[in-house]
Amino acid sequence: MVKSAFFPFMKIAIAADHAGYCLKEKLRERLAAEGHQVVDYGPNSAESCDYPDFAHPVAAEVAQGGAERGILVCSSGIGMAIAANKVAGIRAVPVRSVEEARHTREHNDANVLTLGAKHLDEQAAMELIELFLHTEFAGGRHARRVAKIAQLEHR
């Protein structure tokens, strides 16, 4: 993919659990080949592990501004989203469709994408990631709503 000023290279934090390990490895390689700086938070094998242990460091890295976006892969994408959303400033969303990937960025300014390895092959996952990385936040009325989400974190 050719990048332009409109679609810059990004620093992306990525992780998985055992169910998402193989897909994560393929996605990591493809993103790096496209020129993105990819920081892999593990795991380093498909040995059984607990997804919160990998969701948290990715979410923390994104929340602290160390990475522009995060990608998490587990069996369904749901557990990773739940765990990542415990970190203040994170808007993690499990996505399975093109429309969801586009809206999660345009309307919700999501900063962490979670994917289900049980439901997506490499090509489908990459299509969703490309939309997630390159769709701009629409702002406007959506900015007001995202600001209200941030206020909930401080209650």
- 56 is annotated as an active-site residue: no
Name the residue type at position 4. S
Q: Report the alpha-carbon distance of residue 88 to residue 42 in Å, rounded.
A: 22
Edge-to-edge strand ranges of the sheet holding 11-16: 37-40, 11-16, 69-74, 112-116, 92-94
Quick one: CA torsion of 80, 82, 85, 86, rounded to 10 degrees?
A: -110
The active-site residue, picked from 74, 103, 142, 154, is: 74
The active-site residue, picked from 56, 107, 134, 142, is: 107
- 154 is annotated as an active-site residue: no
Name the residues annotated as catalytic: 74, 107
